[in-house]
Amino acid sequence: MIIEETVRNHLRERIESIPVYLEIPANPPDEFIAIDKTGGSQRNFLKTAAIAVQSHAKSRYRAAVINEEVKAAMQLLPVQDEIAGCHLSSDYNFTNTATKWNRYQAVFEVTHY
């Protein structure tokens, strides 16, 4: 399984009320989470992936609340067998001015097998 699927499945289990996607759907719901791998490396048989998790909502406040839920859930990611570690690199307001979608983005460094 690729790391994006592992993260998606984990977030779906931890945040059941908000849909989690690997791609932004053509007709997105009012609130959703999107996952993107933005980089990665490998050293001594351990892989490291930079995973960006975007929390989308109709209001900036609600996007920030979802972002906090994402960060709490991602702290528990190492309970998965294939995950060695998960560290928050940064999180910030990432509102898309073109689409007018309010969103926050949290970027994690995930070490996995």
Query: Could you give the CA distance from residue 110 to residue 50 in angstroms, rounded to a whole number?
Result: 6
Q: Is this prediction's pTM over 0.75?
A: yes
Query: Are 16 and 9 contacting, i.e. CB atoms less than 8 angstroms apart?
Result: no
Q: Hey, what CATH topology would domain 3-112 get?
A: STM4215-like (3.30.2000)
* pLDDT value of residue 43: 92
- Phi, psi dihedrals of residue 69, rounded to the nearest 5°: -65, -40
Sign of CA dihedral 104, 39, 5, 110: negative
Each residue's pLDDT, cut to its tens digit, for the chain (113 residues) gives: 799 999 999 999 999 999 999 999 999 999 999 999 999 999 988 999 999 999 999 999 999 999 999 999 999 999 999 999 999 999 999 998 888 889 999 999 999 98
